[in-house]
Amino acid sequence: MLTTHPFDDDKLHEECGVFGVWGADAASAIAALGLHALQHRGQEAAGITSWDGHQFHTHRAMGHVAGNFDRDDIIRGLPGKVAIGHVRYSTTGETALRNVQPLFAELSSGGFAVAHNGNISNAMKLRRDLVRRGSIFQSTSDTETIIHLVATSSYRTLLDRFIDALKQIEGAYSLICLTSEGMIVCRDPLGIRPLVMGRLGDSYIFASETVGLDVVGASYIRSVEPGELIIVSDKGLRSHRPFAPVRPRPCIFEHVYFSRPDSIVDGSSVYSVRKRIGAELAIEDPIDADLVIPVPDSGTPAAIGYAQQSGIPFELGIIRSHYVGRTFIQPGDQVRHLGVKLKHNANRALIQGKRVVLIDDSIVRGTTSLKIVQMVRDAGAEEIHMRIASPPTRHSCYYGVDTPERAKLLAAQMSVAEMRDYIKVDSLAFLSIEGLYRALGEDAREEAHPQYCDACFTGSYPTHLTDQEDLAPADQLSMLAERIA
Amino acid sequence: MLTTHPFDDDKLHEECGVFGVWGADAASAIAALGLHALQHRGQEAAGITSWDGHQFHTHRAMGHVAGNFDRDDIIRGLPGKVAIGHVRYSTTGETALRNVQPLFAELSSGGFAVAHNGNISNAMKLRRDLVRRGSIFQSTSDTETIIHLVATSSYRTLLDRFIDALKQIEGAYSLICLTSEGMIVCRDPLGIRPLVMGRLGDSYIFASETVGLDVVGASYIRSVEPGELIIVSDKGLRSHRPFAPVRPRPCIFEHVYFSRPDSIVDGSSVYSVRKRIGAELAIEDPIDADLVIPVPDSGTPAAIGYAQQSGIPFELGIIRSHYVGRTFIQPGDQVRHLGVKLKHNANRALIQGKRVVLIDDSIVRGTTSLKIVQMVRDAGAEEIHMRIASPPTRHSCYYGVDTPERAKLLAAQMSVAEMRDYIKVDSLAFLSIEGLYRALGEDAREEAHPQYCDACFTGSYPTHLTDQEDLAPADQLSMLAERIA
Amino acid sequence: MLTTHPFDDDKLHEECGVFGVWGADAASAIAALGLHALQHRGQEAAGITSWDGHQFHTHRAMGHVAGNFDRDDIIRGLPGKVAIGHVRYSTTGETALRNVQPLFAELSSGGFAVAHNGNISNAMKLRRDLVRRGSIFQSTSDTETIIHLVATSSYRTLLDRFIDALKQIEGAYSLICLTSEGMIVCRDPLGIRPLVMGRLGDSYIFASETVGLDVVGASYIRSVEPGELIIVSDKGLRSHRPFAPVRPRPCIFEHVYFSRPDSIVDGSSVYSVRKRIGAELAIEDPIDADLVIPVPDSGTPAAIGYAQQSGIPFELGIIRSHYVGRTFIQPGDQVRHLGVKLKHNANRALIQGKRVVLIDDSIVRGTTSLKIVQMVRDAGAEEIHMRIASPPTRHSCYYGVDTPERAKLLAAQMSVAEMRDYIKVDSLAFLSIEGLYRALGEDAREEAHPQYCDACFTGSYPTHLTDQEDLAPADQLSMLAERIA
Amino acid sequence: MLTTHPFDDDKLHEECGVFGVWGADAASAIAALGLHALQHRGQEAAGITSWDGHQFHTHRAMGHVAGNFDRDDIIRGLPGKVAIGHVRYSTTGETALRNVQPLFAELSSGGFAVAHNGNISNAMKLRRDLVRRGSIFQSTSDTETIIHLVATSSYRTLLDRFIDALKQIEGAYSLICLTSEGMIVCRDPLGIRPLVMGRLGDSYIFASETVGLDVVGASYIRSVEPGELIIVSDKGLRSHRPFAPVRPRPCIFEHVYFSRPDSIVDGSSVYSVRKRIGAELAIEDPIDADLVIPVPDSGTPAAIGYAQQSGIPFELGIIRSHYVGRTFIQPGDQVRHLGVKLKHNANRALIQGKRVVLIDDSIVRGTTSLKIVQMVRDAGAEEIHMRIASPPTRHSCYYGVDTPERAKLLAAQMSVAEMRDYIKVDSLAFLSIEGLYRALGEDAREEAHPQYCDACFTGSYPTHLTDQEDLAPADQLSMLAERIA
C-alpha cells in the first residue's frame, strides 16, 4: 500500500529531496537507491554528482530515478566513494535541465556541487545584487544564489566563504554540498525542511527522510539539527553551529502529507502521528456511520486511526489504479469528464446503500474532492461524511512547497459550511490546529513561539519574506494581510 | 490503494485483457480508457483496432496503454464508432510487435480482427496442419490459428466459418472479433476466462472485467455466458449457442488474485470474496497476535477480512513505493541484495517487538516471501505468522496464465512444514480448497464436477491438453502424473 | 562526386536493390556493406535475413543502411555464413515495416525469405485468387504473392514449387531467396532489372550492381542472365533455365540514371555510356557557348562527354550541398520558395555574363528544371541552352520504378518547343532514341524486337500488364492508348 | 557535386560558422537556412537565438541543422525579427550541449547572446583570473570568456564594456552578438576568420560565407572588414573602428579547403582561386599522363584547373557515395579494412591501364591518401602521380581550426620524397607557397608582413599564443621551435 499521493495535482507538492553518501563503494548506486525512496518528494527530475578523488561527475535527467539512474552506463559514469543527489518537483513552467540539481560550479577553490531542499525567500534580491556586480547565472533556481555568494565571498577558506553565504540568505534550506575537501551538510536555523543522518558500515549517509536510509540498509543515527553544519571528510565528521540559536519550527505538513508513512521525522513515526490524527478527528467530530473509507493512499493511516477510535469498520471503498502516472492524457473531448476514474474507482458492491465516513489528508483547490464525492455518491452511498486530517489550508508556502496562489485555495475563499455545500457532502469537518498539535504529542500550540511552522494553516511565517515584500504595493498589502491574519 | 500486484515477478500473471465497443462516438478513446482499467491483466503491450464503416485502423505498441494510447495523434488515427482492444502479458521471450493483438487479416470476406484472452491448448497441432496446406503464419501466437481456420473454412458465411473454426479448437478463449459486418463476441463453453457486457447510452461495451465498464461510465448488464456467441451489428444484438452445453468451470484464481477488487466476476464482488477468504483463514487457523499486516496491495482485502474476523487490529506494517515499475534495474553489484526494499519497506516503528500475522494472496516460487519475511524480521517483529489466502499452488496453468514450470512452484516441491522452514516464519497456513469454495458461497467443491477450474491447486484440468500430450514421453509422463495427482 | 541523384523528388526512382552472400564469415556485415553501396536504389527502408545453419534471423528498419545496419548489436543478431538483403524505395504512402523486405515465411518445407527488385504486373489478380482460397497476406507488397504461390503449390520439392510460382507471375523480377537448403537467385526471362554475380574468396556474392561487389572487395564474374535460375548450396552452384527462351529487354534507364556511374551493367560501363550520351548530344544538337555545366551530380558524366566532344570547357557552375537529405523541411511559409537553393547554389562568379550549356539526365515533372534554370538566370547567365541526356519521358513504368502518373509527366503533355518555353531556356534538346541506342553501342533500335525495355520513352511494354487491364474501362483506354502510342 | 569534404576525418576542420539577421519576418527560419548553407563549417551542433522585442529564445541541439531546425515547432519557439545562429565542430571530447552556441547570459544590462567563429589564444589565462574574482563558467568554451569580461567590466554602457572585453582578448574572432539594444558584429583586427554582410529587402544579413547570403536570396554587400565593429539597431547600422589599425592576415586555408567553392571570400571567388591553384600545379610540376582525376569533392576545382592548363582530360575516376555520413561504423572486424570503399569507389573501367594524375587539396595525416592510392592502384592504374593543391601542412592552427598535434602531421615528420614512398605513388608534388600566393593574385608573399595567415604552412603565427606559452617548458620549446621554423 501507499505512502503519499504523488499523482494528484490537487495536492500540495514537496519540491525536493536530497541525499548524500560519504565513503562507500558504489556511492552513486547507493545514491540512486536513496533518491528512488525519496521520489515522492519530487518527480520531475533527478541528478547525482559523484567525486572520485580527482574529478566530479554529474548526471542530471528529467523524469524519474528509475529509467534514468538504474542504468549501468549512467552509474559507471559516476565513479567514486562519495556522491550527492537530488530529486526535484518544479513549481513553474521552467523545467529546463539547467535547473536540475545538483548544481555544480568550478570555483577558484575547486569544484562545488550543491543539492538543496527548501526555498530562499530573499533569493531574487540577492540575485539582482550579484548580477549587478558581474555574476552570470546559469539557472533560474534560487539555489544558484548560494553558489555565487560563495564564489564572490571575500573570506579565504571555503568553509568561511560558505558560512558567509549562509548568513546572507533567509528561508528554508536543507543542503548537501560536495567539494574536493569534503561533504558539507547543513540545515537552516529553524529546521524547516527535514534532514537525517545514518551509517552504513563505515560510511555516512544523509537523506531528507529515514526511508532513504532504510532502502540502502543504513541505520538511523539522528536528525541533523536545526542550525547545524556538518563537515564529513577523510578526517571524519565535525559538527558546527555557525548561527545564533533560535527556537526551531520544522514544517508541520511533513507529518500531514509530505513524508512517507514509514519515515521517522524529527523523532516521530509519521504513520503513528497520522493514526493519532485520525483518532483526534473521531473524537472532535463523531458521527454515526457504517464504513470508514480512505481516499487512497494518503488518507489511509488516518482512516485506520479513525476506525480504531470510532469502532466503525475500515474498508476499501475506493480502489486506486497502479497504472496512473501524471502522463495519462485522456484522449478525445467526449471522455474528458471521466478523468478521476482513471485514478480511482468506487467499490460499488461495498458502498451501495451505506453511510460512509470519507477520510482525506487535506483540501487544496477542492477539485478532486468534488469528483471523488460524486463518484462515491454515484456508487450508491446513502450518506457521505467527509473528515479532513488537517486544519483548512488557507495560506501559501514560501519554503519549498508548491502551493497554488491564495485565491485558488478553497479554504481561503469559503467557510467550512460553504465548502461542505460546494463539495456536496452531508457533513464536513477539519481537524483543529490544537488537535493537530495534540496528535504530534504537544499539549498545545504555543502562540508566542509555535513549535512548528504551520504558516499554511495559520499564516504565521517564521522568517522575513523579502522577495514577497519587494512586490507591488497591492501584492504587499495582501501579503501583509496574510501575515496578520 | 491497491488492486492487484502487477510488479512482482513472483506472482502468477494473467496474460491478457480484452475490450470492445460498438456504436459510440470516439470508440477508440473509450477503448483506450477501458484497456487502461484492464492494464493489470497485461502490461507488456497493447493494441486497438477500429472500424470507420469503410476501413479498419490498427495501432499496436509495446508498453502501457498510458504513454501510447493517450496520445491525440494515435487516437485520431483510429476513427470510427466501433473498436476492439487488447492488453497483453507475454509469457515467452517472443515479445515482437507482430504478436501484439488485435491480430488482423484481410480475408476474402473482408477485414477480420481478433482480440483473445485465454490459451488454445491444441494450437500447435492445428498450426502444423494449416502450414502443411499452405497457410503462412505471421506470428507465434496461438490466436492466429483461429484466423487461419476461418480463412480456410469451406463454409460460406463468415459466421459459419467462425463457428467451424471454434469447433476445432480446445482450451480457454474469451474473444472479441471485429469484421465489417459486425462485432463477434464469444466465451468458451467452460467460461474459463471472464467476459462481461455493459451499455453506455446506445452503445454496447464488452470487457474482461467490470472495471472496464466503470471507467467509461457504462452500466453492467451481465456476464457473457460460457458457450455464448454474441453478434452486434447495425441490426442490434443477437445471442447464439453454437456449442453442446457443458457445466462451466470459470477460473477460480480470478477471485484470488487476477481480477481487480472492485470488479464483479461472474456475479460476485471480488473484494467481498477476498474478505471472506480472510475470514475463513482466521477461522481455519486462529493465532494469538498483535497486528494483522497485508503484503501490499494484493493481500490487503484478505487482511481486512482476517482482522475483522479475529479482532486483531489491521495495520500498514509494510509500505509500498508508488514508483516501482518493472524497469528498475538495481545499479551495481554491491547493492543487488537490496532488491525487495525498492518495492516495500517495513514500518519499523509499528512492527518492533510485535507478533504479526502476515497475509499474502499466494506463494509461487517463494522468493519474494523469503525477502519480505526477512525484512519484517529485521524490523523487529517478535513472531511472524504467515497466512496465505489460497491453497498451495502446485500445478501449471495452460489456459492463458503465465505459470513457472512445476519444478519452480514451491508448493510442488515442499510440504507446508518444509515451506514454513524455508521462508523462516513461526507458523504458516494456507486456506483449504474447501475454505476457498466456501468463501465463494459454495457449500462444498463437487468432486465429480467442480464448479470452478482450480487446476493450479488440484491438477484437475477441464479440457484435453493436446499440445502437452504431443511432447516427448518423459514430459508426457510428468504431465499425466500432474493430471492424476 | 556523384553517382545518382537520390534526393530529388523530381526524378524517377528505382524502387529496390538486392544483395546476397553465400558462404562467408560475417555474412550479414558483408550484406550491410553491399546494401550501403546500393543505397541509391532505395532509401526508405532496408532489411537483412541471415541463416546460421539452424535458424533464420531478420532485421528490417525504416531509414538508411547506415544508422541501422552499422550497429554491432544488429549485426550480432544476424549470425551465420549466409545472408540476403534489400533496400527499398516505397512508391505509395504504405511504408509500414511489414512491407520492408526480405519478406519471410515459415513454409512446411522450412523458412523462406525473399528479396525482390522489380514489379509483378499481375500481382493483384493472383492475390485475389489466393485470398479466396484462404491465404492471408501480411503486406501490401506484390512480392508476397510469390511466397503464397510457393506455399500453396501442389508440387513436392521446394524447387519445383518455386518454378511453379514463377511461371504464374509476369513482370520484372530479380530475386534472391534464402531457404534452409540453399540460396535461390533468379532473373526474369526479359532480364528487365539487373543482377550480377561475383566471388569473394570461396563465397558467392549477388548484387543488383557491381558497386555492391566492389565495396566488399569481391571480383565480378558475370551478370545473372535473363531467365536464369541459380541455386547455391553446400554442394556448390547450379544454373537452371526453367523458362522458354525469349529475347531479353533489360531496362535502358539503368544506363541513363538509375545505376551508379562506377557500375558495369550488362557488360557496359555506365560512366562510359553516359559520356557517349553526352557526346551524341553534342553531335545531334551543337550550340555555340562558353561553358558546359552539369546539373549535379546525375548530369556530370554526360556533361564531361559533351564538353570533350564540343571543345567547350566543363565547369562547376552549380554547387551541390552535401547536407541535404530528403528530410529538410523548409521552416516557415515566407521562405518556402527558396527550396532549390537548399540543394544547389549557382556559382555566380563563374556564370555571370556567360552562355551556358546546362546538362541534365532527364526531365520528369519539370518542376526542378524550372527552378534550376531560374537560379542560373539569376546568377547572370546570358544564354541557357538545356540538353537532356535521354529522350522525352512520356510513359509510366510498371516494372519497379516509381513514375508519376502520365498526366504529370511534362513530356506527355507538351512538345519540346512548349517545354522550352515552360522552363524558360533559350534552347532545349533531348537525345533521340536512336542516339541513345548508339551510345549503348547498338547500330540502331530494332523496331520489331527492341534490344532494351524503353517503354518510358516509347510506350512499348514488353509484358502483359494484367493488373492495369483490370482497371476501369476509362483507365484501360488510356493504358491502351499509351501502349499503342 | 561537391563543396568541401566534410566527412573525412583526415582533413583539417573548420570549427564554426556564424549567421545573423536583423529586421526580417521569420528571422529564425532565415537563420536556419543560412546555417544549413554553412553546415560544412561545423557538423556537430547548431543553435539559434532570437529576440522578439521582449524576450530572448534559444534552441541548441547536437547534430545537423536539418533534422533539428527544419521543424516547425522549433522555429515557432524562436519568434521575432532578429536572430543569430551558429554551427559548431568540436575539437575535443567535450561536446556537451552547454558548449553549443549561441552562448547566452543575463547581464545587468539585459540578455546577451554570442556566436563566435575563431579561437581566443589567451582564453585560459583570462578564465583563471575571472574565476579567482568569483565568476562562474558554464562551459569549457573559450567564447564564454568574452561574456564574463563584458559582465565584469567597469565601463558603463554595453558598447564600452564590449570593447573593453575585446581589448583584453587575443586571437581570431568573427563575432555576432545579440542584445536587447541591437546586434553587434565584429571581426578581429587581423581578420583571420571570414565574415560578410548582405541585404535582404530591408533587413541586414551577416554570415561566415556568401553562400549563407545566397541561400536566403540576400544580396552580397561586402566583407565585414578586419577590426571593424558594426552595430545594427532600430536606428540603422553604425560602423566603428575600436582597434589600432594593423595589416590584416586572413586565413589562407579558407581558399584551399574550408570555404565552399561557390563562396566569395574577401573579394575572391573560391572556385576561381582553386582552379588557378590547379593551373599553377600543372605549371610547377608538369607530367605526361592520360587522365586527371580529383579526389572528390574537394580536389575537383583544382583538377579542372589542372586539366585545362595541361590539356590532359578531366575524368571522374573516383566515385563518391552520397550516403556516407560520419556515422557509418563498419560492422564486424573482418570487414574493417574495407573502410575507404564506403566513401569512394574507383571507376575501374576508366582507370585500368591508364597513367593518372590524382589531385587532392591537402595531406594531413596521410591515412586516407594511402588508402585512396591503393584503391586506384587496385583498379589497374599504370602510374599514379599525386598533386596536392597546397604546400605541405606542417604546423598546428590555434585560431579555430581543428588540427592534429604536430607529431601527427605527415609533412611535419617526412620530406616530400619520404611522403611519396609512404603513400606509394610514382610521383608526388605540393604547390609551393609562392604558387599559392600567385593563385590568390599576389605577386609574391611579403616575408616581413605576409598578406595572409599561412601559419599552418609556414609556422608564422600572427598573434601571441599566451595559453600555449603557459604550458610546461618542454611544450614551450616545441612551440617556440615551431614558431621559428
**Residues D17-42 pLDDT 10s:** 999 999 999 999 999 999 999 999 99
For residue C182, pLDDT over 50 is answered with: yes
User: Considering B12, B16, B75, B213, which one is annotated as catalytic?
Assistant: B16
For residue range D57-112, what is the model confidence (pLDDT) as tens digits?
999 998 889 888 988 889 999 999 999 999 998 644 345 777 899 999 999 999 99
Least confident of B135-149, B462-476, D303-317, D406-420: B462-476
Residue of C nearest to B133 (CA): C152
A154 a known binding residue? Answer: no
Given an 8 Å threshold on Cβ–Cβ distance, is C135 in contact with B136? yes
For residue range B42-72, what is the model confidence (pLDDT) as tens digits?
988 999 999 999 999 999 998 889 888 988 8
The residue to which cell 488516518 is assigned = A302
Interface test with A, best of B44, B70, B202, B323 (most A CBs within 10 A): B323
Contact between residue B47 and residue B100 where contact means Cβ atoms under 8 Å apart = yes
CA–CA separation, D206 and D213 (whole Å)? 8
For residue range D264-284, what is the model confidence (pLDDT) as tens digits?
999 999 999 999 999 999 999
- Residue D334 to chain A, least CA–CA distance (Å): 28
How many other CB atoms are there within 10 angstroms of residue D350's CB atom?
25
Contacts of C74 in chain D (CB under 8 A): 331
Contacts of B105 in chain C (CB under 8 A): 136-137
Mean pLDDT of chain C: 90
CA–CA separation, B175 and B184 (whole Å)? 8
User: Considering A16, A159, A224, A376, which one is annotated as catalytic?
Assistant: A16
- Structure confidence at residue D171 (pLDDT): 95
- Structure confidence at residue B323 (pLDDT): 79
Interface test with C, best of D265, D318, D347 (most C CBs within 10 A): D347
Given an 8 Å threshold on Cβ–Cβ distance, is A341 in contact with B215? yes
- Structure confidence at residue B160 (pLDDT): 95
CA–CA separation, D182 and D231 (whole Å)? 7
Share of chain B above pLDDT 70, in %: 90
Listed residue (A252, A195, A185) closest to A433, CA to CA:
A252
Find the mean pLDDT for residues D376-403: 95
Share of chain C above pLDDT 90, in %: 78
Active site residue C16: yes
For residue B340, pLDDT over 70 is answered with: no
CA–CA separation, A200 and A24 (whole Å)? 8
Contacts of C36 in chain D (CB under 8 A): 321, 323, 328, 342
List residues forming the annotated binding site of B for Mg(2+): 298, 360-361
- Structure confidence at residue D380 (pLDDT): 96
For residue range C357-415, what is the model confidence (pLDDT) as tens digits?
999 999 999 998 999 999 999 999 999 999 999 999 999 999 988 888 888 999 999 99
Contact between residue D291 and residue D351 where contact means Cβ atoms under 8 Å apart = yes
Q: Do chains A and C touch (3 or more CB pairs under 8 A)?
A: no
For residue D362, pLDDT over 50 is answered with: yes
Given an 8 Å threshold on Cβ–Cβ distance, is D345 in contact with C215? yes
pLDDT tier at B22 (50, 70, 90 boundaries)?
Answer: very high
CA–CA separation, D374 and D377 (whole Å)? 5
- Structure confidence at residue A286 (pLDDT): 94
- Structure confidence at residue D66 (pLDDT): 87
Helix H segments across D77-189? Answer: 123-132, 143-152, 158-168
- Structure confidence at residue B476 (pLDDT): 53
Find the mean pLDDT for residues B27-34: 95
What's the length of chain C? 485
A186 a known binding residue? Answer: no
Q: Which residues of B touch C (CB under 8 A)?
A: 98, 105-108, 131-138, 147-148, 151-153
Interface test with C, best of B97, B126, B133, B135 (most C CBs within 10 A): B135
| Terminal C-alpha separation, chain A | 39
Given an 8 Å threshold on Cβ–Cβ distance, is C341 in contact with D40? no
Give B202: exposed, middle or buried? Use CB within 10 Å, 0-12, 13-18, 19+: exposed
Contacts of B154 in chain C (CB under 8 A): none
Q: Which chains border D (3 or more CB–CB pairs < 8 Å)?
A: A, C
Find the mean pLDDT for residues D460-465: 92
For residue range C32-70, what is the model confidence (pLDDT) as tens digits?
999 999 999 998 899 999 999 999 999 999 888 988 898
Q: How many helices (H) and strands (E) does chain C have?
A: 18, 23
Q: Do chains B and D touch (3 or more CB pairs under 8 A)?
A: no
Strand partners, D122: none
Domains of chain B listed by start with CATH number: 13-258 (3.60.20.10), 272-321+335-459 (3.40.50.2020)
Find the mean pLDDT for residues C88-109: 78
Share of chain C above pLDDT 70, in %: 90
Spatial neighbors of D418 by CB under 8 A, at least 6 apart, are none
Given an 8 Å threshold on Cβ–Cβ distance, is C323 in contact with D7? no
Find the mean pLDDT for residues C224-243: 96
DSSP label of B257 = I
Spatial neighbors of C77 by CB under 8 A, at least 6 apart, are C57, C59
Dihedral sign from CA coordinates of D464, D466, D467, D469? positive
Measure Cα distances from D215 to C338, D6, D30, D307 in Å.
7, 19, 9, 30
Least confident of A111-115, A422-426, D340-344, D419-423: D340-344
Given an 8 Å threshold on Cβ–Cβ distance, is B106 in contact with C138? no
Given an 8 Å threshold on Cβ–Cβ distance, is D335 in contact with C33? yes
- Residue A223 to chain B, least CA–CA distance (Å): 16
- Structure confidence at residue B1 (pLDDT): 22
For residue C319, pLDDT over 90 is answered with: yes
Maximum separation of any 2 CA atoms in chain C, in Å: 73
Interface test with A, best of B290, B335, B354, B371 (most A CBs within 10 A): B335
- Provide the residue-wise pLDDT of chain A in tens; the chain has 485 residues: 222 233 356 777 778 999 999 999 999 999 999 999 999 999 889 999 999 999 999 999 988 898 889 888 899 999 999 999 999 986 443 457 778 999 999 999 999 999 999 999 999 999 999 999 999 998 888 999 999 999 999 999 999 999 999 999 999 999 999 999 999 999 999 999 999 999 999 999 999 999 999 999 999 999 999 999 999 999 999 999 999 999 999 999 999 999 999 999 999 999 999 999 999 999 999 999 999 999 999 999 999 999 999 999 999 999 998 876 544 544 444 454 455 568 899 999 999 999 999 999 999 999 989 999 999 999 999 999 999 999 999 999 999 888 888 889 999 999 999 999 999 999 999 999 999 999 999 999 999 999 999 999 999 999 989 888 776 555 555 554 554 44
For residue range B380-428, what is the model confidence (pLDDT) as tens digits?
999 999 999 999 999 999 998 888 888 899 999 999 999 999 999 999 9
CA–CA separation, A128 and C430 (whole Å)? 72
As for the ipTM of the complex, it is: 0.91
Residue of B nearest to A262 (CA): B347
- Among B98, B136, B137, select the one facing C147 at the smallest CB separation: B136
Measure Cα distances from A181 to A25, A157, A206, D95, D318 in Å.
18, 11, 17, 28, 60
Side-chain-side CA neighbours of B291 within 13 Å: the count stands at: 24
Q: Which residues of D are marked as active site?
A: 16
Given an 8 Å threshold on Cβ–Cβ distance, is D137 in contact with A106? yes
Given an 8 Å threshold on Cβ–Cβ distance, is A316 in contact with B2? yes
Given an 8 Å threshold on Cβ–Cβ distance, is B136 in contact with C108? no
| pTM for this model (two decimals) | 0.84
User: Considering C16, C82, C183, C412, which one is annotated as catalytic?
Assistant: C16
CA–CA separation, A204 and A194 (whole Å)? 17
The residue to which cell 446503500 is assigned = A353
Find the mean pLDDT for residues C425-454: 97
Measure Cα distances from B388 to B310, B358, B385, C399, D336 in Å.
15, 8, 10, 69, 60
Listed residue (D270, D94, D95, D139) closest to D196, CA to CA:
D270
Reading the block at residue A207, the C-alpha cell is: 537523506
Contact between residue B167 and residue B175 where contact means Cβ atoms under 8 Å apart = no
Contacts of C138 in chain B (CB under 8 A): 136, 138
DSSP label of C251 = B
Share of chain D above pLDDT 70, in %: 90
Amino acid code (one letter) for D232: V
For residue C72, pLDDT over 70 is answered with: yes
CA–CA separation, C259 and C255 (whole Å)? 6
Q: Which chains border C (3 or more CB–CB pairs < 8 Å)?
A: B, D
Given an 8 Å threshold on Cβ–Cβ distance, is B106 in contact with C152? no
CA–CA separation, D239 and D230 (whole Å)? 4
pLDDT tier at C325 (50, 70, 90 boundaries)?
Answer: low
Torsion-angle region of residue C354: left (phi > 0), alpha (psi -120 to 50) or beta?
beta
Contacts of C135 in chain B (CB under 8 A): 134-136, 151
- Residue D138 to chain A, least CA–CA distance (Å): 7
Listed residue (D22, D19, D36) closest to D201, CA to CA:
D22
Read off φ and ψ for residue B33, nearest 5 degrees. Answer: -65, -45
CA–CA separation, C34 and C207 (whole Å)? 8
Contact between residue C396 and residue C368 where contact means Cβ atoms under 8 Å apart = no
